[in-house]
Amino acid sequence: MSQYSILWFSGTGNTLLCARALAAALAQEKAEAELVDISAAAYWQPPADNTLIFCWPVYCFGPPRIVRKYIKQMLPGDNRVYQLCTLGGDGGGAMSLTVRLLRSKGYRVCGGTEILMPNNFTGGRIPDAGSIQDLVATARVKIEEFAQSILKGEHVIQSVSVADPVTARGLNWGFRLAQPLLGRLFKLSKEKCTGCRICVRTCPVGNITFHSLPRWGKECELCLRCLHICPQAAIDYMGALKKGRPQYMAPETDFAKTR
């Protein structure tokens, strides 16, 4: 029986939804698929015979820092690897950045797919109920097709990117340099905050501590889970909520109950 390890990182649930849908599609064909939360499995190493499927959201034309770090600490291997990237706009060829890291360790990269999902960042399209439903439905169909390609061992590249890769790579480089500073731009409403600490408990990298009020450290991934999961809408980033942008958590994912 074929065995698959689906390694995922997700901020507001888009990627987790896709990872779960992929696991279900593989299981329908009698394949064994385990879900591995990258943020909770720092030293997990893949079984030698498993096909690996990395699932992660695109941040400014590249992978999240935690995904890059995870791949860098992996031991060398020759597993077959696929990637599934979720994005709210143009990916700018983000998968190529992790392809180089994986190949440098001997892994056989067999391609990947980009899945458009509702945008959760401060700019771009604002998701409404109709667009969320349509995007998730389309994603499920594409994931079913992707699962069939994986089961057949096919090399597959499904990209929706049109951005110039050189420009995209430069922007990602600048984003990574600025990330420690960007993580300090969260604003907390002391009037709205009730001290429930949901943001502290659910931060995937443990970057938020509580000292009478939440405080953000230097390891922020900018996944914006804290902003979108806050039951009082007490957390804002670059004025997104103040400007009328709604909070968003992906359907069928509730990190507040699982952490």
Residue 165 inside a domain? The answer is no
- Could you tell me which residues are beta bridge partners of residue 33? 4
Q: Supply the pTM of this predicted model.
A: 0.94
Considering the domain architecture, whether residues 73 and 152 belong to the same structural domain is answered as yes
Euclidean distance between CA atoms 83 and 158, whole angstroms: 10
Considering the domain architecture, whether residues 75 and 189 belong to the same structural domain is answered as no
Quick: pLDDT tens for 130-169.
889 999 999 999 999 999 999 999 998 888 777 888 888 9
Total structural domains in the chain? 2
Quick: pLDDT tens for 12-60.
999 999 999 999 999 999 999 999 999 988 788 888 899 999 999 999 9
Is the CB of residue 159 less than 8 Å from the CB of residue 85? no
Expressed as residue numbers, the domain containing 122 is 3-158
Euclidean distance between CA atoms 50 and 58, whole angstroms: 25
Last residue of a domain, one of 158, 175, 195: 158
Considering the domain architecture, whether residues 138 and 215 belong to the same structural domain is answered as no
Euclidean distance between CA atoms 97 and 253, whole angstroms: 28
